[in-house]
């Protein structure tokens, strides 16, 4: 039977994009409604930092564990099975979050939500990468990420319009159920069906570690994505604190900074596929975005960043420059065979998300608490460390633009 040919605006691409939209809506919603939601479950101004950190850490732990779980299932049971299963789990978690009454209940629901959210992007990117011809893969996956990342903007305005954080979570749950109905008509990847018929190990997470060459590819695939969460998790998320330290501002809204950054990330991610097509190279496109990130970092810590307006503008630039999530995840998927691709593509972005607590540890616990550095100096040195590691990993990462994906790992 002839395999159906899909275009970049075909149903699987659109459904994967909408799935990622709901994923990002839910993932960033906590950051946007953090203060009112934490006060709503019994936290106080005095306990806000500790309690909110506990909730976000449980969510990120869920993402980390869920990435492994869904990645293995994507290669064992199929890409569609993961997309269905993950969306049911995080939709239920969203609904439940709308009814929580204590910090512990909130943390538990966000852990379950994190487990579910972990399966969405990797399985979607894997499915799209395998269904589209190789000359359209980059554009298709960029469309998925670009539409998906605008979910953060939707989350911000949903809260602005409703002023009800519980309703925002329930809306996220409803969006997930609606998406589930759309997914019914999406077909499984032909490459996966072929691999399923072969006598090869599928979804063996430990295969990523039992071969030196595969392990290096896997580690480098994770490290090239680190700047995204340094920028969002440290600089943009704490733009209010940086504004206070740099030019004594008390009016910067970090939620607004996140909205501007993610709007720009969405644009950057939709363009990065076209840039990749122009260069006929994933790596050249990635390097261009790295250079823009470095420019944004210089501006962030420079004398030009001296007002609320400049802070929002620089956060927007940093957002655009880190809009390479699509290419980063696509490169992760393209570096591994069909029997291990879902595992790699699903765990890689969640390993990067899971690296945020480590970056926070470097930024906060080591540089500020142990070494007594200022907020600004800690931010600068953390950025230098992250970008240095990333550029080294980039150098050793293989080019995958023209790679044929119809093969298996032995």
Kindly give the confidence (pLDDT) of every residue in the chain, 410 residues in length, as a single tens digit, with 9 standing for 90 and above. Answer: 445 667 778 887 888 888 888 888 988 898 888 889 999 999 988 888 778 878 888 888 898 898 888 888 877 877 777 777 888 898 999 999 999 999 999 999 999 999 998 887 777 777 787 788 877 887 888 888 888 888 888 999 999 999 999 999 999 999 988 888 876 666 555 555 565 566 666 668 888 898 899 999 999 999 999 999 899 988 998 898 899 999 999 899 888 998 899 889 989 988 988 899 899 999 999 999 999 999 999 999 999 999 999 999 999 999 999 999 888 988 988 899 888 888 888 889 888 888 888 888 898 888 888 899 998 999 999 999 999 999 999 999 999 888 888 778 87
d(CA 291, CA 135): 25
CATH of the domain at 108: 1.20.1250.20
Helix (H, G, I), strand (E, B) or coil at 9: coil
The answer to whether position 407 is within a domain reads no
Q: Is residue 408 situated within a structural domain?
A: no
The number of domains in the chain is 1
In Å, how far from its chain's centre is CA 48? 25
Assess if residue 405 is contained within a domain.
no
Residue 184, domain extent: 11-396
Does residue 404 lie in a domain region? no
Residue 5 maps to a domain: no
d(CA 155, CA 29): 6
**Domain for residue 402, yes or no?**
no
Looking at the domain assignment, is residue 26 inside a domain?
yes
Contacts of residue 285, Cβ cutoff 8 Å, sequence gap at least 6: 138, 272, 275, 276, 279, 324, 327
> CA-to-CA distance for 182 and 351, rounded, in angstroms?
29
Q: Is residue 187 part of a domain?
A: yes
């Amino acid at each position: 039977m002839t395999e159906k040919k899909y275009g970049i605006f075909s149903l699987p691409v659109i459904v994967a994009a909408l799935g990622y939209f709901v994923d990002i809506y839910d993932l960033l919603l906590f950051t946007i409604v953090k203060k009112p939601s934490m006060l709503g479950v019994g936290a106080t101004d005095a306990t806000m930092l500790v309690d909110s950190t506990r909730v976000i850490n449980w969510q990120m732990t869920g993402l980390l564990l869920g990435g492994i779980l869904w990645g293995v299932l994507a290669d064992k049971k199929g890409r569609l099975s993961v997309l269905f299963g993950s969306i049911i789990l995080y939709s239920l978690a969203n609904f439940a979050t709308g009814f929580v009454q204590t910090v512990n209940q909130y943390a538990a629901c966000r852990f379950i939500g994190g487990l579910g959210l972990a399966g969405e992007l990797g399985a979607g990117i894997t499915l799209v990468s395998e269904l589209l011809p190789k000359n359209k893969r980059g554009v298709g996956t960029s469309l998925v990420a670009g539409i998906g990342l605008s979910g953060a903007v939707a989350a911000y305005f949903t809260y602005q319009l409703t002023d009800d954080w519980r309703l925002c979570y329930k809306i996220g749950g409803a969006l997930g159920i609606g998406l589930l109905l759309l997914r019914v008509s999406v077909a499984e990847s032909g490459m996966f069906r072929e691999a399923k018929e072969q006598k090869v190990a599928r979804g063996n997470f430990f295969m990523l570690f039992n071969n030196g060459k595969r392990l290096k590819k896997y580690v480098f695939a994770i490290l090239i994505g680190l700047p995204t969460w340094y920028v969002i998790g440290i600089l943009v998320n704490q733009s209010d604190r940086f504004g206070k330290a740099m030019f004594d501002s008390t009016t910067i809204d970090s939620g607004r900074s996140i909205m501007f950054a993610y709007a720009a990330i969405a644009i950057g991610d939709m363009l990065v596929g076209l840039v990749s097509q122009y260069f006929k190279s994933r790596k050249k496109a990635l390097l261009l975005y790295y250079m823009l990130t470095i420019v944004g970092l210089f501006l962030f810590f420079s004398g030009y960043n001296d007002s609320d307006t400049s802070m929002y503008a620089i956060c927007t630039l940093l957002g655009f420059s880190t809009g390479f999530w699509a290419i980063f995840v696509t490169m992760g998927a393209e570096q591994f065979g069909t029997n291990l691709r879902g595992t790699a593509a699903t765990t890689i972005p969640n390993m990067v998300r899971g690296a945020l607590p480590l970056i926070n540890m470097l930024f906060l616990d080591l540089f500020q608490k142990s070494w007594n550095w200022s907020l600004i100096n800690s931010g600068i040195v953390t950025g230098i460390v992250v970008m240095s590691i990333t550029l080294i990993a980039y150098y050793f990462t293989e080019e995958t633009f023209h790679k044929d994906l119809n093969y298996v790992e032995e």
